[in-house]
Amino acid sequence: MTETENNQPEAPATSSMIPGGRHDSELFRVYSRILDGITDHALLPGKKLTESDLCRQMVCSRNTVRGALSLLAHDKIVDLLPNRGAFVHVPDAKETRDVFETRIALEETVVNMLLDQNDESLSERLQPLYALVDEEEAAFARGDRVSWNRLANAFHIELARLLDNDVLLEMMHAVCARSSLIIAVFDKPKDRLRHTYCEHREILDLLAEGKRNRACKLMRRHLGECQARLLRKFEAESMEF
């Protein structure tokens, strides 16, 4: 990772973890800037994305912006509304359930596939993820919310990357990006679980020890508690209207 001006490691942006060979294109540059703004919660759900503003900010053509917004709409991150323009997508309760149920199943599959490999080097291959969790804890301790969110997300992406399965990795990236958008709608920084990094570290320990059932159970609980908290907040907000 590169270093920031404060000599802290720069957390990987969501776009930097996307697999594929399109990273050098102008279209991907604009797509990534918008995506990272949304997943970093700088562009909040419901915000209008004006083409002229984006062209000016990113120094690019209107066609490039339109192409990027179309890709983001395909990924369910942006909504393109006829005669109104583009808006950051606002998920509802059903989408929250659907996304998290899918994510729980997918991440449990990752755990099982890793242990199905019977790879004696798994413990060694997990070491970079321990370092990632250490950075996540440090970001939380210094109150760096953006880096903390990025690193928490990167943990799950990098765990899937160990399988060297491009299709599964693409699915993980998509579901993690949509989860981040849902969190931006319902969750407030002060309300989030303080010790996500503790559970991340425990998941790694269980994988290194080959404890399949306990690792799957913890992964389900880790994501399931987040889903339940978000749905409770959605229901509470709905009752206010």
Nearest CA to 136 out of 161, 153, 158, 124 is that of 153
Q: Does domain 93-233 bear CATH number 1.10.2020.10?
A: no
- Two domains, one topology: 25-88 and 93-233: no
Contact predicate 73/79, CB 8 Å: yes
The label of the residue with tokens 């917004």 reads 69
pTM above threshold 0.85: yes
Per the listing, tokens 């990272």 go with 36
Task: Give pLDDT, residue 190.
Answer: 52
How is the chain split into domains, by residue range? 25-88, 93-233
SS3 87: strand
Q: Cβ distance 220 to 103 under 8 Å?
A: no
As a whole number of angstroms, the distance between CA 47 and CA 66 comes to 16
What confidence score (pLDDT) does residue 156 get? 96
Task: State how far the Cα of 224 lies from the Cα of 93, in Å rounded to an integer.
Answer: 14
Q: Which fold has domain 25-88?
A: Arc Repressor Mutant, subunit A (1.10.10)
- pLDDT per residue rounded down to tens, the chain (241 residues): 444 445 555 788 888 888 765 567 899 999 999 999 999 989 999 999 999 999 999 999 999 999 999 999 999 999 999 999 999 999 999 999 999 999 999 999 999 999 999 888 999 999 999 999 999 999 989 989 889 889 999 999 999 999 999 999 999 999 999 998 888 777 665 545 557 899 999 999 999 999 999 999 999 999 999 899 888 877 776 655 4
